[in-house]
Structure 1
């Protein structure tokens, strides 16, 4: 979404970062990753963190596997699970700069003050209802939608693997795909980033990267344009989607 229109102040986020709930399985790794985000905020990066569902989400999935839940129940419970993970990440036990908020306007203000806003997305999701009530749509897709909504130039998926691997072979370093177009990544289906998120990125021309939280310094290297062990997701430029009519105007 274009946030440079007169009367519509930009949110000004450098990146929207989806913090995978899987990272919380190792609290030491989680703390190191959050410390790196705080260091980046000190350097002037305005980060909007979107939490994954984490441990609460896995509990909901387990219940659904045993006793099939109504899609409405599962969808709303999983959105609230993202809120719960967000509150945990912003606790003083894990961080000093992370602040939870359900308001995008407040998130904008927090980022300008050098904090790292943690968006609690449930209220926004319940009000706007932008995604399908399906297990195919994960917090990756929610983060992609929020990145587009706020006009962020990049989406970061911080997770527990190095990136997207051919055949899902995450234990094979040679299988890592270092760069791929979103349009091609869609064809691989659900990988370390969900297929719905990737298709959204392709359609909205939103580039991004999948990075391993166990190596948090890679995020800074990527932000500074250095090559890192990760999967960079490219897209066609927005200008490429504009065609000309026979009179020379934009179609």
Structure 2
């Protein structure tokens, strides 16, 4: 654990929450989900929010579908789309104690003061360039990477469906996958979690869940170890020490 190494201050987050841009389609749902995060913060959880691309990201995708964008343009525009969603989440129109910031140091200070930091990730992504410039990389993978960088043990992905479904049959409750390892999830390809994020979680030993943000109380129940409607992502078994790690989880 980073926090146990002398000279390295821990970030101290108990959970990273990827706040799906899909939740912005219904402003009432968005506000209710943020209110639940604020309640969890008051009860002692130190939360770091990583925003999805949301409405701006969809606009970029629609342009790319007609006029193929270069990887440079698409990557940088989508990172800035996450920033835009973050600014909206932190606005008083949606929340009262969510504050946007551009550095992890700011995030740590805000969490220590009882606020919920929402990271505007573009500055870090542009400076460190950790992920491939590819449509395969989404804000899910960025959130998984942030969880690893901050040594946060859990990642919750809030989206507009109940979890991960077999064959993407989201209208069949029987198709909902309730328990799966990160490695098994990565083998399914792109689901309600992108495959790159699942593979990274498997490689780095990050546990998590996929939950419907329309029912935000489920996050509290999951944190308490209760069985909830959603997909619980377990830590994959350790690989043999002879295994060669992937150089770039986005390729």
Q: TM-score range by the shorter chain?
A: over 0.9
Give the 3 Å change call, closer, same or farther, for CA 16–28 of structure 1 in structure 2.
same
How many angstroms apart in 1 are the aligned matches of 2:241 and 2:60? 46
Conserved? CA contact 2:2–2:8, under 8 Å: no
How many angstroms apart in 2 are the aligned matches of 1:168 and 1:6? 46
How many angstroms apart in 1 are the aligned matches of 2:214 and 2:173? 15
Cα distance, 1:243 vs structure 2: 5.7
Matches within 5 A, 1:91-240: 91-236=91-236, 240=238
Cα distance, 1:4 vs structure 2: 2.5
Cα distance, 1:19 vs structure 2: 0.2
Conserved? CA contact 2:50–2:119, under 8 Å: yes
Normalized against structure 2, the TM-score is what?
Answer: 0.94
SS at match of 2:95: coil
Unmatched segments (≥5 aa) in structure 1: 245-251
How many angstroms apart in 2 are the aligned matches of 1:186 and 1:193? 9
Conserved? CA contact 2:32–2:216, under 8 Å: yes
Conserved? CA contact 2:15–2:46, under 8 Å: yes
Normalized against structure 1, the TM-score is what?
Answer: 0.94
How many angstroms apart in 2 are the aligned matches of 1:74 and 1:64? 8
**Which residue does 1:89 correspond to in 2?**
89
Between structure 1 and structure 2, the one with the greater Rg is 1
How many angstroms apart in 2 are the aligned matches of 1:188 and 1:116? 33
Cα distance, 1:241 vs structure 2: 5.1
Over the residues paired in the alignment, what is the CA RMSD in angstroms?
A: 1.3
SS at match of 2:48: strand
Cα distance, 1:236 vs structure 2: 3.2
Unmatched segments (≥5 aa) in structure 2: 243-251
How many angstroms apart in 2 are the aligned matches of 1:57 and 1:132? 17
**Which residue does 2:63 correspond to in 1?**
63
How many angstroms apart in 2 are the aligned matches of 1:72 and 1:242? 36
* Total equivalences in the alignment: 242
